[in-house]
Structure formats: C-alpha cells, structure tokens
C-alpha cells in the first residue's frame, strides 16, 4: 500500500512534467497544424541548459529562470527560420524537416556537451526527504517539483481560459483566417505559441534535470510520451493534455511496480482504450 | 460620393483557376452596395480579394486614400475593413462574450463607437446567450454574432457574404433591419445575398458579376426596374 502511494506521488510528479512538455506540443499541433518531431529536442535543450547554468549559478531554480528566456528566444528563432515555412505544407514535409532538426540538434549537443551522461544537483535547501507516515518518506525536491509544475500548469490554464491572449490562441486553433480578419497578425501569434511551447518543454527538461541524469537524446522518450498525451487529451486541448499526462504518469509509475512485464505497454494500452471510446481524444473533436 | 474603397483591374482566383477578370469595384463613404451574381460568378472571390485573403494579381486596391494592395488581411482589418464571411466564422470554442470582446478595437478615428452593450442592444438575443459557446448557437444567432463581432472592430466598411443564407424569415428580417441601422450609423456596407427584394431595399448601388466580370454597376433601383437584365444575369 505504501509502495502504491509512493508510486502515485511519482506518477503525479512525472505526469506534471510530461504535461509541461506535452502542452507545448498540443498547442503547436492544434493551432499551427505542425507535427513537430523536434519537440523532444527542446526538452533536451532545457536539460543541458540546466547543466550549464546550474554549474554557473549553483542553483537549479536560478538556472531555470535564466534558461526560460533563452528557450523562448531559441523557439522564436526556430519558428522564424524553419517552422513558418511549414504552415501551408503537408505533414510529410513537416515530419521530414523536424526530423532533420532532431539530427542537427543531437549533433550540436554532442559537439557542445559531449556524449557522457551528467547529473545536476538539487539545491541543498531541498535535499533530503520528508516523512509522510511512519515508514514512508519522499524526496523534498520531488515534492517541490510537483508543486512548481502544478503552479505552472494552473498559470497556463488561467492564461488560456481567462485572458485575451488565451482567447486569441483558442480562436487561432479553430479559425486562423478569421483571426486575421479581426485584425490580428497570425504570424506573431504563431511565433508566440511556438516559442511558448519551446519554453514549456525546456522548463520541463530543466526542472527534471536533478531527478534524471542529463544525457544525449534525453528528449526522445519525452517526445513519444508527449504525443501519446496529445492523442489521449485531444489535439489542441490543454485541459485534455493535463488529464492525459496525469493518467499516463500514474499508469506508468504503477505499471512499473505492479505489472513489470506489462509496464512498457501500459501507456499505449491506455491510449488505445481512450481512442476506442473517444476517437478524438478526451477533449478533442472526433475526426 | 468620395471613394472609401477603390479596386481596379482585379484578376484573382485559386491557383491555376482564375475567377475574376479585370474587375473594377468601388464603394463610397456611407454607401451601401449590393454585390450580385449567380453562384460561381466571383462574388466571394472578390470579397476575399478585397480583404487580402487572395492576391489581386496586377490590380490595385485603395482604402481610405491608402494603397492596401499588398497589405496583410490583419492590416486591412485594422484600417477599418470588416468581413462577415460565408459560414460566419464563429469561434466555436469561445463564448459569445469572448467572440465579441476578442474583436473589440477602436476604429480608424480612434473611437470605440461599437461596444458590447451596443451590440447587445442591436441583437438582444446575444445578450441572453452571452455565456454560451459559439457552437451552441443556432444559425441565426451565429450570424447575429458574426455581424456584431465585425462591428466590434469599429469598421468603416462592413462586407457580408451571403448575409441571410439559410436563416428563418423572422431572423432574416432582423438582420436586414440591423443592416439598415448600421448604414444609418454611417458605416459603408457591401452585401452579397440572394434575397433580391431585401437587398434592393437596402442598397444604394448594385454591381452584377457574370463569369468574373462586372456587367452592371449602377443605381440599385435602376437594376430592379430592368426585369429582363435581372432575369438574364441573376436567373430570377
């Protein structure tokens, strides 16, 4: 029972991290219509930014604050240089170009940081564990990570559902032409969405660095799981991505302990079950 | 009447398919123009060209004295051109209130004369449904919202493509009555619609397109009186 509780904690924390990565992917897919295979590379960018900036500042949170604007600028530059040319092209061309970006990013990572795995220390003031029950304790950094991810998720949902820029993003998802007809330059809206998605994925990579090692291709598994989350939640739905990521996180964590032989298939079984009931995902529109 | 919008020599279409062949089209200040033609004659293509969604080819478009031929759709909207498109373009995942407030901006004169309150005065039904999502509205309510939303941009020129298509007679009457109020408020209007009696009742001038060319450009009442031409060009 205590093991299950620990795994649920781990699953929620992992799910919230995946939500940060997947929310950017679902916005880019849902609003820009671009299948971005390089999204996992932005997670990797965050992990390596955390490595470098933590070594410079000595604090992962300070590193994350410094890394976020770098990730925004990086995302805006990638959108301007490459992605904006894909909006009117078919998905095959999008996949080809963003796959090429993965190869370029991976090679650049090897040149800049090498091929060895690295670890990023959690801040000393969050080291150790907190006792939950008599025999049950949980790492403080993981709890803090859960709280930060939850706060970011709430802030994002507030922006999307309660602000004018959020309404504009939702409008862009349903009808780009109409957004233009109302006087909004969709080029800037798309750049903003892409840069924000990049920053969210990078933030997940940065915050996760102390609980995972930083290694080449660290974003590739995140990319696959993020796509699963997007499909489960419904393309373009932040609310769907939130619930989908939590479900995936908990299913993955519990599966590893209670169904170890089946663990690697858990998330895909969950996706298949959701699609069988709701082909458009939890909050998506059925095709 | 001084020209608010002046388009000359418009050649436009979709890829290799050319629809418009040298169209000249003008709208005066505070003028209401009925744009007429059978299906497929180029009315929608002309409206989409005027708002910048389709390239004007070798043609030129001036709005309020400025050359907007190469201006983006968004820039033309900010300059005061509004389109209520065929299909209405309601954002289904935004509430009625959000559809309206998202569009709100001051007009070219710097004044926000059309507000949410004024839109609700114009269409009280929308006030009742302000919290409903866009896709929870009936066709008539969606058209009201689409017109109200266009007005929230405080345009100098309001263009409507198939203004009352598919709407119940009572709703159609409400839309025409509203357009008369909008015209009285000083907004120039271009209307595409199949209800000729209502259209002739509203429009100062009529322009008829046949196979992508202008075959008539004159007083709406003159066209209305010419039954033979109306029958030949419009099939009614």
Say if residue A287's pLDDT is above 50: no
- Residues in B touching A167 (Cβ below 8 Å): 94, 98, 101-102
- In the prediction, which pLDDT does B1 show? 66
- In the prediction, which pLDDT does B13 show? 96
- What is the average pLDDT across A30-43? 94
CA dist B93 → A152, A158, A170, B170, B228 (Å): 23, 16, 7, 27, 47
- DSSP assignments along A239-274, one per residue: HHHHHHHHHHHHHHHHHHHH-TTTHHHHHHHHHHHH
Which among B203, B194, B196, B135 is positioned nearest to B164, based on CA atoms? B194
Report the b/e string of B158-187 with b at 16+ CB within 10 A.
bbbbbbbbebeeebbebbbebbeebbeeeb
Chain A residue with minimal CA distance to B101? A164
- What is the average pLDDT across A147-169? 94
Distance CA A5, CA A67 (A): 33
Could you read off the pLDDT of B121-162 as tens digits, one per residue?
999 999 999 999 999 999 999 999 999 999 999 999 999 999
Q: How far is A286 from chain B (nearest CA, A)?
A: 15
Q: Angle at CA B173, nearest 5°, toward B171 and B179?
A: 105
Could you read off the pLDDT of A226-254 as tens digits, one per residue?
999 999 999 888 999 999 999 999 999 99
* CA A268 centroid distance within chain: 18
B217 reaches A (C-beta below 8 A): no
- Residues in B touching A31 (Cβ below 8 Å): none
- In the prediction, which pLDDT does A236 show? 86
Report the b/e string of A230-266 with b at 16+ CB within 10 A.
bbbbbbbbbebbbbbbbbbbbbbbbbbeeeeeebeeb
Distance CA A63, CA B154 (A): 46
Distance CA A13, CA A249 (A): 8
Token representation of residue A57:
């500042």
Residue A177: Cβ within 10 Å count: 14
H or E stretch covering A93: helix A91-113
Cross-chain CB nearest to B102 (options A168, A180, A185): A168
- Residues in B touching A185 (Cβ below 8 Å): 72, 74-75
Burial class (CB in 10 A: 0-12, 13-18, 19+), B117: exposed
Which among B20, B28, B21 is positioned nearest to B4, based on CA atoms? B28
Q: Can you say whether the dihedral through the CA atoms of A6, A9, A14, A17 is positive or negative?
A: negative
- In the prediction, which pLDDT does B132 show? 97
Cross-chain CB nearest to A173 (options B75, B93, B102): B93
H or E stretch covering B10: strand B3-14
Say if residue A135's pLDDT is above 80: no
Among B74, B92, B101, B112, the strongest candidate for a mutation testing the A interface, having the largest count of A CBs within 10 A, is B74
- Residues in B touching A164 (Cβ below 8 Å): 101-102
* Cβ contact, residue pair B103, A173, below 8 Å: no
Extents of the domains making up chain A = 2-277
- In the prediction, which pLDDT does A285 show? 62
- To the nearest 10 degrees (0 to 180), the angle between helices A140-162 and A238-258 is 150
Q: How far is B110 from chain A (nearest CA, A)?
A: 15
- Residues in A touching B72 (Cβ below 8 Å): 180, 185
Say if residue A286's pLDDT is above 60: no
CA dist B64 → A43, A184, B68, B83, B157 (Å): 49, 20, 9, 16, 10
- What is the average pLDDT across A203-229? 95
3-state secondary structure of A172: helix
CATH topology assigned to domain A2-277: ABC transporter involved in vitamin B12 uptake, BtuC (1.10.3470)
Q: How far is A162 from chain B (nearest CA, A)?
A: 10
- In the prediction, which pLDDT does B209 show? 97
Could you read off the pLDDT of A98-120 as tens digits, one per residue?
999 999 999 999 999 999 999 99
Could you read off the pLDDT of B25-71 as tens digits, one per residue?
999 999 999 999 999 999 999 999 999 999 999 999 999 999 999 99
Cβ atoms of B175 and B163 within 8 Å: the answer is yes
ipTM for the predicted complex comes to 0.94
Cβ atoms of A86 and A28 within 8 Å: the answer is no
- In the prediction, which pLDDT does B227 show? 94
pLDDT > 70 fraction of chain A, expressed in percent and rounded: 99
Distance CA B213, CA A42 (A): 52
Could you read off the pLDDT of B171-194 as tens digits, one per residue?
999 999 999 999 999 999 999 999
**B16-20: long-range contacts, CB 8 A cutoff, minimum separation 24:** B18/B212, B19/B45, B19/B212, B20/B45, B20/B46, B20/B49, B20/B212, B20/B213
Distance CA A274, CA A281 (A): 7
B66 reaches A (C-beta below 8 A): no
pTM above 0.90, yes or no: no
Band of residue A264 on the pLDDT scale cut at 50, 70, 90: confident
- What is the average pLDDT across A155-176? 92
Say if residue B96's pLDDT is above 80: yes
Burial class (CB in 10 A: 0-12, 13-18, 19+), A24: buried
């Amino acid at each position: 029972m205590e093991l299950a509780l620990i795994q649920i904690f781990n699953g929620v924390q992992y799910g919230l991290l995946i939500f940060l990565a997947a929310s950017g992917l679902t916005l880019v897919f849902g609003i820009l219509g671009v299948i971005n295979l390089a999204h996992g590379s932005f997670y990797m960018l965050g992990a390596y930014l955390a490595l470098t900036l933590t070594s410079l500042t000595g604090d992962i949170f300070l590193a994350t604050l410094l890394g976020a604007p770098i990730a925004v600028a990086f995302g805006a530059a990638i959108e301007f240089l490459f992605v904006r040319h894909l909006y009117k092209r078919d998905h095959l061309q999008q996949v080809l170009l963003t796959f090429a970006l993965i190869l370029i990013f991976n090679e650049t990572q090897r040149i800049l940081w090498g091929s060895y795995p690295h670890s990023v220390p959690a801040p000393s003031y969050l080291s150790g564990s907190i006792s939950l029950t008599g025999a049950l304790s949980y790492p403080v950094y993981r709890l803090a990570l859960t709280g930060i991810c939850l706060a970011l998720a709430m802030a994002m949902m507030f922006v999307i559902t309660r602000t004018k820029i959020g309404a504009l993003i939702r409008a862009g998802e349903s009808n780009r032409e109409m957004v233009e007809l109302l006087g909004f330059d969709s080029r800037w809206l798309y750049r903003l969405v892409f840069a924000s998605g990049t920053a969210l994925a990078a933030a997940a990579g940065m915050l996760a660095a102390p609980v995972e090692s930083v290694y080449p291709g660290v974003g590739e598994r995140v990319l696959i799981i993020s796509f699963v989350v997007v499909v489960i939640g419904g393309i373009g739905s932040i609310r769907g991505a939130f619930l989908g990521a939590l479900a995936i996180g908990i299913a993955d964590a519990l599966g590893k302990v209670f169904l170890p032989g089946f663990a690697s298939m858990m998330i895909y079984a969950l996706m298949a079950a959701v699609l069988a009931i709701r082909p458009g995902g939890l909050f998506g529109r059925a095709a | 009447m001084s020209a608010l919008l002046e388009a000359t020599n418009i050649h436009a279409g979709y890829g290799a398919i050319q629809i418009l062949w040298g169209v000249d089209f003008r709208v005066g200040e505070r003028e209401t123009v009925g744009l007429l033609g059978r299906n497929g004659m180029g009315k929608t293509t002309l409206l989409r060209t005027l708002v910048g969604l389709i390239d004007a080819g070798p043609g030129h478009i001036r709005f309020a004295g400025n050359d907007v031929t190469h201006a983006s759709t968004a820039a033309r909207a900010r300059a005061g051109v509004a389109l209520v498109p065929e299909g209405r373009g309601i954002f289904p995942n935004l509430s009625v209130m959000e559809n309206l407030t998202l569009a709100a901006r001051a007009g070219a004169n710097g004044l926000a004369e059309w507000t949410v309150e004024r839109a609700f005065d114009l269409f009280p039904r929308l006030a009742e449904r302000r919290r409903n999502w866009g896709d929870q509205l009936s066709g008539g309510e969606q058209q009201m919202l689409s017109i109200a939303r266009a007005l929230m941009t405080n345009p100098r020129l309001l263009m409507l493509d198939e203004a009352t298509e598919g709407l119940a007679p009572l709703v159609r009457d409400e839309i025409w009555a509203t357009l008369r109020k909008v015209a009285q408020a000083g907004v120039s209007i271009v209307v595409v619609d199949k209800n000729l009696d209502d259209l002739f009742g509203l429009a100062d001038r009529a322009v008829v397109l046949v196979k992508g060319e202008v075959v008539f450009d004159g007083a709406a009442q003159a066209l209305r009186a010419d039954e033979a031409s109306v029958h030949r060009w419009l099939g009614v």
